[in-house]
A = this chain, B = another copy of it.
Amino acid sequence: MNASRSARERVRAELTREITEIARRQLAVEGAPGLSLRAVAREMGMVSSAIYRYFPSRDDLLTALIIDGYNALGEAVEVADAAGDPGDFTGRWLAVCRAVRGWALAHPHEYALLYGSPVPGYQAPQDTVGPALRDTVVYGKIIEAAHKAGALTPPDGFPAPPPVLAEDFGRLRAVIMPGVPDDVVARGLTAWTGLFGTVSFELFGQFNNTIDEREALFDHVMITLGRLVGLR
């Protein structure tokens, strides 16, 4: 029967969801190295081997968490971007930056899993590539729209990127920000890495004993980086 097969499937999907949720909670407490199938099984009220009906190995569970993480961050960024005036490109850039920082502060271990040290011995499969770009796609759309609207007025005196980067930039442009010239792609990348560099510095403790006014510093740095791209 079709309905009953899908009943079994629904239970299965629900339990799979529960497992990843418990795993995510444990990740939030212990960090990735402390994530254990046995602990998850214990909290599920299952015997440890039962987990293998749902995930063939610990690495596959990690992969699920990574994909979920990228999607959660991506969605937070999408929501933040959609909340403002679509024509206010500077505001959208700042909203995206704040969404990234806000999500990272709320989910430090998940952020560390996505943008921190790689987990030793873990090789990310191809399935993570799409979700990993979700936030970047939002960013690209902002730059693209701003460029098309003629709203980018980058400051003078900055050198053009060397021709050897044309191929990389071409690939990037195709996926992220079609129609945007190399010069803008280069500045865009600078700002984007600067965003994550700043968030990582704060989250990973490099501002300890140094910077107290972290939100103010963050906003100022992001405005500066936005200005570099031509947003004012």
A54 contacts chain B at the CB level, 8 A cutoff: no
- Give Cα A113 to B228, complex, Å: 31
- Please, which residues of chain B bring their CB within 8 A of the CB of A198? 193, 197
Kindly report how many copies of this chain are found in the complex they form together: 2
Q: Once the chains bind, are A223 and B193 in contact (CB under 8 Å)? A: no
Q: Once the chains bind, are A206 and B115 in contact (CB under 8 Å)? A: yes
Q: Once the chains bind, are B201 and A196 in contact (CB under 8 Å)? A: yes
- Decide if the interface of chain A is mainly helix, strand, loop or mixed: helix
A85 contacts chain B at the CB level, 8 A cutoff: no
- Give Cα A208 to B107, complex, Å: 24
A46 CB to closest chain B CB, in angstroms?
25
- Give Cα A30 to B30, complex, Å: 19
Selected from B167, B211, B216, B220, the residue in CB contact (under 8 A) with A212 is B167
1/0 per position for A161-173, CB-CB distance to B under 8 A? Answer: 1101101100110
Q: Once the chains bind, are B213 and A120 in contact (CB under 8 Å)? A: no
Selected from B120, B194, B228, the residue in CB contact (under 8 A) with A197 is B194
A190 contacts chain B at the CB level, 8 A cutoff: yes
Residue total for A at the interface (Cβ-Cβ under 8 A): 58
Chain B: CB-nearest residue to A195: B197
A127 CB to closest chain B CB, in angstroms?
13
Binding site for B on A (CB under 8 A): 30-34, 109, 112-113, 115-118, 120, 124, 129, 155-159, 161-162, 164-165, 167-168, 171-172, 186-187, 189-190, 193-198, 200-201, 204-206, 209-213, 216-217, 220-221, 223-225, 227-228, 232
Q: List 15 A-B contacts (CB under 8 A).
A: A32-B117, A33-B120, A34-B120, A117-B204, A159-B220, A159-B223, A162-B216, A165-B217, A165-B220, A167-B212, A171-B210, A193-B198, A196-B200, A197-B200, A228-B228
Known pairs A31-B117, A112-B116, A190-B221; list 18 more (Cβ under 8 Å): A109-B117, A113-B117, A116-B204, A117-B204, A118-B204, A158-B224, A158-B227, A165-B217, A168-B213, A172-B210, A172-B211, A186-B221, A189-B221, A190-B225, A193-B197, A196-B200, A196-B206, A197-B201
